[in-house]
């Protein structure tokens, strides 16, 4: 029987929701095709997450634990995934397309001599072949891709699938992986974290995104206030991460993150294709821009033509009223 | 430090295109140097200007890719390698990685630099594959590079923060365009590039097993991405339209 193995990523002590989306989808494929749905967790406290993971239907969960997996390091993750692949012998390994995944996917494919397709927006598997759709050309075109291999590796954009609980009692299999100093030729010196307790943009229900129109502290304060009223995450265009106004981890778009919240409010963003590539799948898009011809209005459900300094104070007040 | 930067010729994303019966028709004349690779070239130039060393580039592509190589030479790279293809091969990332690994196997270098992804496909696989094939330590998605005591210090954009990673040489790094603003070649650079050496090779020169290059990842057809339905645009008195849209988000869109 073929096995679909989902890599469940842990970040900052939490399961990445996008990996549970992938696991939910793998469970549906497995059920439809009479295949096994399994998961792997690699983290210093991997076992503590198995209860949450089995809710999504994994019949077997491999855990790899140890100090080496406290922080993301490609050398240790590669070693662990290689070992788990040997033990589990999956036909397919599915990943959420996080930065952690992107860091190892190519190397893992070369190591396992596997077929691979990255960053898909949907996929299916018939036991030997993956058929997938992936956006290309800054998300202007959708490509249909076929991939074979043993195994096939697939990484999936966040928000591509809904979470679907499917409680199962999983067999937990601990896999021993020791990472020796020789395995890690790269040294992780330190992690410079984004300031404050920022909301994970991939999991945010609402995002307020700032662009070059957000010019000063006054405008930044309006963005923060709007985000807090909506309990939204703050995102930014490249214009503002590049100039250091916002942390680079908040960049949305082709280089940055791909997001699909229920509500996306673009403030002072022109709507370059490299930006919209990362947010065009949001459910409701609001754009605030003083240029009536800005391309962002072509994809906005609600376009407000005006100066953000004049629009935002009233907009925020009105939302506060509605929320109360 | 000796850098070899792997650069790709990509179709210009702004060029008009058509999709007919699942086939993608684009103006093959409009190509550019992949933006991420331009940043990789720029950073290699900055670091060698500061610490000494030189920068070479390698590109796998059709005859037209010689323009892409010239662009990198005009920016300041010293030498180019052009691994020629017909342009109609069905290679995937793994095929390119194997060709590059085989080309690099007898070259001397300290740092191999790649783009973190290709602007047309966004795959982001080739760099990691080459690192694995050549058994090199590597880091991806670099937003900053420094050289310290013969080591490469990479600032990498991770999921929630930046990781500072130290790599011994030889090593491999993949670069984000968030790292720098690539220089635009000036006239002097463009003139100089015409005299710089470009070595031409073929895939068969490299002794790569042709069957190993067979793509396992194949694009079978293309579809246009459905456009979002046009929404409503509000113009007028700022306070009025701000209030109106806030109301609609509640009553019509149901997202508050
Ligand atoms: C390979 C590649 C990858 C890229 N990746 C990304 C990416 O991941 N994310 C990304 O965002 N970009 C990316 N870019 C850059 C992208 O092409 C644009 O340059 C960028 O998105 C522009 O940011 P912006 O809209 O904030 O700025 P601008 O294009 O300068 O737009 C500013 C907008 O603000 C409006 N404005 C100004 N003042 C006000 C005011 N007071 N009130 C209301 N509106 C106002 C203006 O009318 C204008 O429309 C990439 C580019 C390349 C080549
Ligand atoms: C529209 C389109 C979609 C495609 N989709 C896929 C797909 O989903 N999967 C797949 O396997 N193949 C795909 N292909 C085939 C594609 O030609 C190769 O995968 C691709 O050229 C290899 O690079 P990449 O785009 O995968 O690069 P990435 O892995 O995204 O490239 C990363 C870096 O590798 C280096 N690099 C890549 N190609 C070269 C080169 N030719 N010469 C020198 N350096 C290079 C550059 O430094 C580049 O920045 C597609 C081709 C097209 C035209």
DSSP string, A40-52: EEESTTGGGGHHH
Mean predicted confidence (pLDDT) in B10-24:
93
Contact A144 B220 (CB under 8 A): yes
Structure tokens at A194: 């984004």
CA distance B194 to chain A (A): 31
Q: Parse chain A into domains and list their residue ranges.
A: 3-184, 206-323
Q: Are A7 and A26 in contact (CB under 8 A)?
A: no
In degrees rounded to 5, what are phi and psi of residue A21?
-60, -45
B38 alpha carbon – ligand 1 mean position (Å): 20
Per-residue pLDDT of B238-252, as tens digits, reads: 999 999 999 999 999
Distance of CA B181 from the midpoint of ligand 1 (Å): 15
- Cβ of B129 within 8 Å of Cβ of A110? The answer is yes
Residue A76 contacts residue A179 (beta carbons within 8 Å) = yes
Q: Which of A138, A285, A289, A305 to mutate to test the pocket of ligand 1 (most atoms within 8 A of CB)?
A: A289
3-state secondary structure of B127: helix
- Predicted pLDDT of residue A60: 98
Torsion-angle region of residue B120: left (phi > 0), alpha (psi -120 to 50) or beta? alpha
Q: Give yes or no for a contact between B96 and B213, defined as CB atoms under 8 angstroms apart.
A: no
Task: List the residue whose alpha carbon is closest to atom 12 of ligand 2.
Answer: B92
pLDDT band for position B161 (cuts 50, 70, 90): confident
Answer yes or no: are the C-beta atoms of A72 and A102 closer than 8 Å. Answer: no
What SS3 state is found at B163?
Answer: strand
> What average pLDDT does the segment B219-246 reach?
94
C-alpha distances in Å from residue A91, one per residue of A132, B71, B82, B166: 16, 43, 37, 35
Report d(CA A259, CA A204) in Å as an integer.
Answer: 9
> Using a 6 Å cutoff on CB, does residue A74 contact ligand 1?
no
pLDDT tens-digit series, residues B88-104? 888 999 999 999 999 99
What's A251's DSSP letter? B
CA distance B213 to B96: 8
CATH of domain A3-184: 3.40.50.620
B25 and chain A in contact, CB less than 8 A: no
Q: How far apart are CA B174 and CA A33, in angstroms?
A: 38
- Torsional sign, CA B56, B61, B67, B68: negative
DSSP assignment of A59-99 equals SEEEEE-SGGGSS--HHHHHHHHHHHHHHH--SEEEEE--H
pLDDT digits (tens, 9 = 90+) for B101-133: 999 999 999 999 999 999 999 999 999 999 999
Confidence of residue B227 (pLDDT cuts 50, 70, 90): confident
User: A231 and A318 in contact (C-beta within 8 Å)?
Assistant: no
Residue A183 is predicted with a pLDDT of: 83
Contact criterion met (CB < 8 Å) for A185 and B248? no
The reply to whether domains A3-184 and A206-323 share a CATH topology is yes
Q: What is the pLDDT of residue A197?
A: 59
pLDDT tens digit at each of 324 positions of chain A: 899 999 999 998 999 999 999 999 999 999 999 999 999 999 999 999 999 999 999 999 999 999 999 999 999 999 999 999 999 999 999 999 999 999 999 999 999 999 999 999 999 999 999 999 999 999 999 999 999 999 999 999 999 999 999 999 999 999 999 998 888 889 999 998 765 557 889 999 999 999 999 999 999 999 999 999 999 999 999 999 999 999 888 999 999 999 999 999 999 999 999 999 999 999 999 999 999 999 999 999 999 999 999 999 999 999 999 998
Which ipTM did the prediction report?
A: 0.96
What is d(CA B140, CA B44) in angstroms, rounded to the nearest whole number? 15
In angstroms, rounded to a whole number, what is the distance separating the alpha carbons of residues B83 and B60?
A: 5
Q: CB of A211 closer than 6 A to ligand 1? A: yes
Residue located via tokens 């589990």: A88
A51–chain B nearest CA distance, Å? 24
Please name the fold of domain A206-323.
Rossmann fold (3.40.50)
β-strand A36-42 against A3-8: which pairing, if any? parallel
Residue A13 at interface with chain B, using a CB cutoff of 8 Å: no
Taken in order of first residue, the domains within chain B and their CATH numbers are 2-213 (3.40.50.620)
Q: Alpha-carbon distance A202 to A195, whole Å?
A: 17
């Amino acid at each position: 029987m073929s096995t679909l193995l989902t890599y469940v990523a842990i970040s900052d002590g939490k399961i990445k929701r996008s990996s549970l989306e992938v696991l939910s989808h793998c469970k549906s494929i497995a059920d439809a095709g009479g295949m096994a749905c399994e998961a792997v967790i690699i983290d210093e406290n991997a076992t503590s997450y198995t209860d949450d993971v089995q809710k999504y239907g994994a019949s077997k969960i491999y855990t790899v634990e140890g100090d080496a997996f406290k922080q993301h390091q490609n050398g240790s993750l590669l070693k662990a995934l290689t070992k788990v692949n040997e033990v589990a012998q999956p036909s397919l390994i599915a990943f959420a397309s996080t930065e952690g995944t992107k860091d190892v996917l190519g190397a893992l494919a070369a190591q396992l001599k596997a077929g691979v397709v990255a960053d898909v927006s949907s996929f299916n598997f018939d036991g030997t072949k993956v058929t997938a759709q992936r956006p290309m050309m800054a998300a202007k075109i959708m490509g249909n891709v076929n991939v074979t291999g043993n195994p096939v590796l697939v990484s999936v954009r966040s928000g591509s699938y809904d979470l679907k609980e499917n409680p199962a009692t999983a067999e937990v299999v601990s896999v021993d992986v020791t990472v020796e100093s020789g395995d890690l030729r790269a040294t992780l010196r330190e992690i410079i974290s984004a300031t404050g307790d920022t909301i994970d943009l991939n999991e945010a229900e609402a995002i307020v995104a700032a662009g070059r129109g957000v010019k000063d502290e006054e405008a930044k304060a309006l963005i923060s206030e709007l985000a807090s009223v909506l309990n939204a995450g703050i995102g930014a265009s490249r214009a503002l991460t590049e100039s250091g106004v916002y942390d680079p981890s908040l960049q949305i778009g082709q280089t940055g993150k791909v997001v699909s919240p229920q509500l996306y409010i673009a403030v002072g963003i022109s709507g370059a294709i490299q930006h919209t590539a990362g947010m065009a799948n949001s459910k409701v898009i609001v754009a605030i821009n003083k240029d009536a011809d800005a391309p962002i209005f072509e994809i906005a459900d609600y376009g407000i033509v005006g100066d953000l300094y004049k629009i935002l104070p009233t907009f925020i007040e009105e939302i506060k009223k509605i929320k109360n | 430090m000796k850098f070899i930067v792997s650069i790709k010729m990509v179709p210009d994303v702004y060029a008009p295109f058509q999709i007919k019966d699942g086939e993608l028709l684009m103006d093959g004349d409009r190509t550019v140097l992949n933006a991420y690779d331009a940043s990789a070239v720029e950073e290699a130039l900055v670091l060698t200007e500061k610490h000494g060393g030189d920068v070479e580039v390698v590109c796998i592509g059709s005859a037209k890719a010689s323009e892409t190589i010239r662009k990198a030479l005009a920016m300041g790279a010293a030498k180019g390698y052009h691994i020629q293809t017909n342009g109609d091969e069905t290679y995937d990332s793994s095929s390119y990685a194997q060709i590059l690994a085989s080309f690099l196997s007898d070259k001397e270098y300290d740092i191999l630099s790649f783009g973190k992804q290709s602007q047309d496909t966004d795959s982001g696989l080739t760099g990691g594959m080459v690192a694995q094939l050549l058994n090199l330590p590597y880091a991806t998605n670099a937003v900053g590079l420094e050289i310290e005591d013969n080591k490469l210090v990479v600032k990498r954009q991770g999921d929630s923060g930046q990781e500072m990673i130290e790599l011994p040489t030889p090593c491999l790094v993949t670069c984000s365009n968030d790292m720098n603003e690539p220089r635009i070649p000036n006239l002097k650079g463009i003139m100089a590039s015409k005299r710089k050496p470009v070595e031409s090779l073929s895939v068969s020169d490299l002794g790569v097993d042709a069957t190993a290059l067979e793509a396992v990842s194949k694009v079978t057809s293309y579809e246009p991405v459905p456009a979002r339905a046009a929404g409503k645009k509000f113009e007028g008195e700022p306070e009025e339209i701000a209030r109106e849209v806030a109301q609609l988000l509640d009553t019509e869109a149901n997202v508050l």
